[in-house]
C-alpha cells in the first residue's frame, strides 16, 4: 500500500492537519472579534482544539504521523519573524533594554506557570489513580 493511501486510512493528511489548525484559528478569531475579547484568536482556537481532543481522544493518535511532518517544517514559520527583526534592527537597538527585561520576565513567568500546571496535573493524576485502586 502506498504512503498516501496509508495516510487516508489511518487519519488526517498533512494538508488536512494544517487545514484543521487554520479552521480552529479562524473560529478563535471570529469568537474574539464577535465578543471583543482582548485575547488573540489563535489562543482561543488552540483552547478549542484542546477541548476537542479531550472529547475525542482518538484524534490524537490519528494526528501523530501528520504532526511529525508538520514539526519537521516548523522552523520555517520563524523565518518571517526573523525578517521582521532584521527589518526593525535599529528599533531593536534603541529598545534593547526593554526587550531584554520583557523577555526575561516573560520567560520566568512561563516557567512558573508551567511548573504549577505540571504539579497540579501530577496531583490530579495521583488522586485519580489512587481512587481507581480503592475501587
| Angle in degrees, 0-180, between the axes of helices 64-72 and 3-10, rounded to the nearest 10 | 120
Residue 99: Cβ within 10 Å count: 13
Which residues fall within 8 angstroms of residue 48, CB to CB, at 6 or more apart?
24, 27, 28
pLDDT tens across the length of the chain (135 residues): 445 544 444 456 778 888 888 999 999 999 999 999 998 999 999 999 999 988 988 888 888 888 888 888 888 878 888 888 888 889 989 999 999 999 999 999 999 999 999 999 999 999 888 877 776
Closest by CA position to 59, among listed 74, 48, 44:
48
Residue 61 φ/ψ, nearest 5 degrees: -70, -30
Amino acid at each position: 500500500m502506498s504512503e498516501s493511501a496509508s495516510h487516508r486510512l489511518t487519519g488526517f493528511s498533512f494538508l488536512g492537519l494544517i487545514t484543521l489548525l487554520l479552521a480552529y484559528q479562524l473560529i478563535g478569531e471570529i469568537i474574539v472579534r464577535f465578543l471583543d475579547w482582548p485575547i488573540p484568536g489563535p489562543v482561543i482556537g488552540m483552547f478549542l482544539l484542546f477541548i476537542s481532543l479531550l472529547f475525542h481522544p482518538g484524534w490524537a493518535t490519528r494526528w501523530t504521523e501528520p504532526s511529525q511532518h508538520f514539526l519537521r517544517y516548523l522552523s520555517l514559520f520563524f523565518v518571517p519573524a526573523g525578517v521582521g527583526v532584521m527589518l526593525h534592527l535599529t528599533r531593536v537597538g534603541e529598545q534593547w533594554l526593554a526587550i531584554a527585561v520583557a523577555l526575561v520576565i516573560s520567560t520566568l513567568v512561563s516557567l512558573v506557570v508551567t511548573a504549577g500546571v505540571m504539579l497540579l496535573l501530577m496531583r490530579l493524576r495521583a488522586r485519580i489513580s489512587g481512587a481507581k485502586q480503592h475501587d
